[in-house]
Chain A
Amino acid sequence: MELLAFGIMRDIHCHADAEDLESYSMGASSVEETARIEEHLLICEDCRDRLQQGEGFLNSMQVAARQWRRDEKALKRRGWKIPAWLPVLAAACALVLVVVAVRAVRSTGPAVAVSLTALRGNGAGSIGPARRELSLQPDLTGLADVPAYRLEIVDQTGRPVRLAALPRTQGAVAVPGLAAGQYFVRLYLPAGNLLREYGLEIR
């Protein structure tokens, strides 16, 4: 066959194989191979059918592969996307951490001694820092001599917030930190008789 003189060509009358047809469909055949395939296609209905079937597969695969890649990318984007609520949550967490840290720092400091002298009706009373442990030292002058008094702290609405026993000999009682506000410290006899009430402003 004359075409075989080109060396690389096979017999034109032989069917093209699937790989050659696929390369042809994808435009990847050499000039010589393209000529050989096209000349064969001119006279071979079987190969024309196979070419069309192969091109159907090729087109479907290209569309499907493109779609697959798009889906993969979208999935990846979704995977790495920062949700809109995440910064808000992070800020809230940071705020909570700051508050907790501040409270922790404040509450871990040494107890602050507060002398309670001013009685209710004589102004706001003694002043103490908020959120710090307090060492309350009420003025016990003139009070009945008992081994211990009952000490109660109420807020300005009268709601008890702290309760402690105050030994007469110590003259002071440690009280956990209080939030800022106006308080009243009440001193009772063990039997429950109110002896004295002091004003305490926590700032």
Chain B
Amino acid sequence: MNIETRSDALTGNEPQVPSWSGLVERVRAGDPSGLEQLYAVFVKGVRFFLWRQFGPQDLDDKVHDVFLIITQSIQRGELREPERLMGYVRTVVRRQVAAHIDSAVAARRTQQSLDPAMTLSDREPDPERRVLEKENQDVAMRMLGALPKRDREVLIRFYLQEQTAEEICRELNLTHTQFRLIKSRAKARYGELGRRRLSQRAGFRRT
């Protein structure tokens, strides 16, 4: 666990991106290096979004479908503003997600037997993941228990009751800086407890 706060947010090391217009031009021209670069730039991001929505089932096929759609539409000249390539990719991914969910819902409504290709995958975590989540929850619980009452109330209101920062600050008479400080301290403490747990586990393995 390594949770960052605004103060220690990532700086520098921004992703290296090509010239979108040049890339689009090469894809449009059918240049294999263009297709390759398009794939290299976006494949992880596209996989990431599709995995978040559907899990690992048929992930490669879905990623492939997205790239097919993007490539074909670029080659048909449908992307009029090459600088908007990222937005376009995002839109295609979202449409694909929506379309897949629609067809899965329709299939469930009309079919008695479930076609695995048309179902939304079970997103239940595997046992190992479940154990990890339980450990993280224990860490969060310990962290909550060690906090002063007001700080704990802030976190519960924000993360559980989903009150806005403004509401919390108003009701608990806090400044926005205090609010952010409470949150960032909690995240830092959570990260610290998590790291300690991991190091304890590593020590256990060595013996």
Contacts and interface: CB of A to CB of B under 8 A. Distances in A.
A42 B152 contact: no
Contacts of B175: none
A42 B140 CA distance: 30
Contacts of B162: 26, 28
Contacts of A108: none
Interface stretch (B4-12, B98-106, B197-205): B4-12
B159 A58 contact: yes
Nearest to A68: B144
A130 B85 CA distance: 106
Interface stretch (B13-21, B72-80, B109-117): B13-21
A134 B6 CA distance: 92
A166 B81 CA distance: 127
A99 interface: no
Contacts of A18: 3-6, 9, 187
B100 to A, nearest CB: 17
A19 B81 contact: no
B173 interface: no
B93 to A, nearest CB: 8
Contact of A42 (B10, B13, B42): B42
B45 interface: yes
B69 interface: no
A168 interface: no
A3 B86 CA distance: 11
Contacts of B13: 15, 46
B137 interface: yes
Contacts of A14: 14
B46 interface: yes
B90 A17 contact: no
A12 B85 CA distance: 12
B81 A15 contact: no
A145 interface: no
B140 to A, nearest CB: 4
Interface size class of B (residues with CB under 8 A): 35 or more
Interface SS, B side: helix
A57 B188 CA distance: 11
Interface residue tally on A, bucketed by range:
35 or more
Nearest to B43: A42
A24 to B, nearest CB: 12
A65 B160 contact: yes
Interface in A12-47: 12-15, 17-19, 26, 28, 35, 38-39, 41-47
A8 to B, nearest CB: 15
Contacts of B140: 57, 60-61, 63-65
A37 B134 CA distance: 29
A38 B160 contact: no
A43 B15 contact: yes
A69 interface: yes
24 contacts: A2-B83, A2-B84, A3-B87, A12-B86, A13-B17, A18-B187, A19-B6, A35-B90, A42-B86, A43-B86, A47-B10, A50-B4, A53-B2, A57-B1, A60-B136, A61-B155, A65-B140, A65-B156, A66-B160, A67-B137, A67-B141, A68-B145, A68-B152, A69-B156
Interface of B: 1-6, 9-11, 13-15, 17, 41-42, 44-46, 48-49, 81, 83-84, 86-87, 89-90, 93, 133, 136-137, 139-141, 143-145, 152, 155-156, 159-160, 162, 164, 180, 186-187, 190
The 4 closest A-B pairs by CB, nearest first: A42-B45, A64-B140, A65-B160, A60-B140
